Amino acid sequence: MIQRMRLQPEAIGSGLTSQRVRDRLVERLREAGIRDERVLNAIRTVPRHLFVDEALAMRAYEDTALPIGHGQTISQPWVVAKMTEALLEDGMPGKVLEIGTGSGYQAAILAALGLEVHTVERIGELLRTARKRFRQLGLNVRSKHDDGRIGWPENGPFDAIIVTAAAPALVDALTDQLAVGGTLIAPVGASSSQSLLKLRKDADGNISQHTLAPVVFVPLLSGMID
Ligand code: SAH
C-alpha cells in the first residue's frame, strides 16, 4: 500500500527532476539487484529532489549519496532500497523506528509503504527541515530530537529498527526495543570497514545475524546539537 502524497507542482518536478528521471533510477536499482516491487514503487513515488538543497536537486536521481549540511549525507538510493527491502523480506512490519532522520528521505520511503514510522535525529536543524518535508508531502511520520542511541523506549517495542549511521558495535538499547520476531538493520564497524547487518529476534529473545553488504555510513555520534 503506497500512502498517497500531496504532490505540489515542485514535487512532480521537471527536466532533471521529472518522473521520467525517477523511473530511470528505478530501472538502475533493478539492474543493481533490487527486486521488491513495493520498494521500487516507493522510490518511484517519493520525490528525492525535495530532500536535498535546491542547488543539488538535479543530481537527486543519480545513485549516489549527497551532502545535506552539518557534515551529513542523504544515503545512496541503492542503500536505502537495500535496507528497506531487507526490512520487509520477513513480512510487513507495523511499527518502525529509524535512527538518524537526516534529510528524512528514508523515513519518507517507509511512510510511503504504509508503515508507522518513528524517527530520531540528534541535529535539530536537520530534523526541523525534515519535518517540513513530511508536512509538505502529507506524510505521517513521528519524530524526536534526541540521541538515538537510547532509542524511543516509550514507543517501543518496534517490529523493525533501521539505523542509518554506523556504530563500532550494536547498540543494546536498540536490540532491547526490537519486538519478538522483529528485524533490525544497521551498519556496524569502524569507519574504514563497515558491514550492513541484519538481525532477527526469535521467540526466546535470541538474536541471529548476517551480513548483507559492505557499506559506508557517517558515524553514530553521542549527544544532541541544536
Ligand atoms: N536516513 C537519512 C540518512 C542521514 S545520515 C536520510 O535518509 O537522509 C545519518 C544521520 O544520522 C545524520 O543526520 C546524523 O546527524 C544522524 N545521527 C548520527 N548519530 C545519531 C544519534 N546518536 N542519534 C540520532 N541521529 C544520529
Is pLDDT of 76 > 80? Answer: yes
Output the pLDDT for position 16. 75
Q: What is the pLDDT of residues 31-49, one digit of tens each?
A: 999 999 999 999 999 999 9
Q: Could you tell me if residue 43 is inside a domain?
A: no
For ligand 1, pick from 164, 174, 191, 215 the residue to mutate: most ligand atoms within 8 Å of CB. Answer: 164
Could you tell me the residue range of the domain that residue 144 belongs to? 67-215
Do the strands 158-163 and 178-190 form a parallel or antiparallel pair, or are they unpaired? parallel
pLDDT classification of 1: cutoffs 50, 70, 90: low
Q: Could you tell me if residue 16 is inside a domain?
A: no
Whole-model pTM? 0.96
Find the CATH number of the domain harbouring 74.
3.40.50.150
Q: What is the pLDDT of residues 77-130, one digit of tens each?
A: 999 999 999 999 999 999 999 999 999 999 999 999 999 999 999 999 999 999
Q: What is the pLDDT of residues 131-144, one digit of tens each?
A: 999 999 999 999 99
Hey, what's the cell of 114?
Answer: 504504509
Q: What is the pLDDT of residues 133-184, one digit of tens each?
A: 999 999 999 999 999 999 999 999 999 999 999 999 999 999 999 999 999 9
113, 42 Cβ separation under 8 angstroms: yes
Residues with CB under 6 A from ligand 1: 72-75, 99-100, 102-103, 105-106, 120-123, 126, 147-149, 164-165, 218, 220-221
Largest CA distance in the chain: 53
Protein residue closest via CA to atom 17 of ligand 1: 100
Protein residue closest via CA to atom 2 of ligand 1: 102
Output the pLDDT for position 5. 79
Q: Is 18 a catalytic residue?
A: no
Any idea what DSSP says for residue 218?
P
Residue 45 CA to residue 36 CA, distance in Å, equals: 14
CA angle centred on 90, ends 198 and 173, rounded to 5°: 45
Q: Could you tell me if residue 225 is inside a domain?
A: no
Q: What is the DSSP string of 73-116?
A: EEPPHHHHHHHHHHHHTTS--SEEEEE--TTSHHHHHHHHTT-E
Instruction: Name the domain count of the chain.
Output: 1
Is pLDDT of 194 > 80? Answer: yes
For ligand 1, pick from 121, 141, 144, 174 the residue to mutate: most ligand atoms within 8 Å of CB. Answer: 121
Question: Which ligand 1 atom is the nearest neighbour of the CA of 126?
Answer: 13
More confident call, 1 vs 144: 144
86, 198 Cβ separation under 8 angstroms: yes
Protein residue closest via CA to atom 26 of ligand 1: 100
Q: Could you tell me if residue 114 is inside a domain?
A: yes
Q: Could you tell me if residue 45 is inside a domain?
A: no
**What are φ and ψ of residue 181, in 5° steps?**
80, 0
Hey, what's the cell of 115?
Answer: 508503515
More confident call, 135 vs 12: 135
Question: Which listed residue (75, 103, 143, 222) is catalytic?
Answer: 75
Alpha carbon of 71 to ligand 1 centroid (Å): 10
**What are φ and ψ of residue 161, in 5° steps?**
-130, 135
Q: Could you tell me if residue 7 is inside a domain?
A: no
Output the pLDDT for position 114. 97
Hey, what's the cell of 134?
Answer: 513530511
Residue 79 CA to residue 82 CA, distance in Å, equals: 5
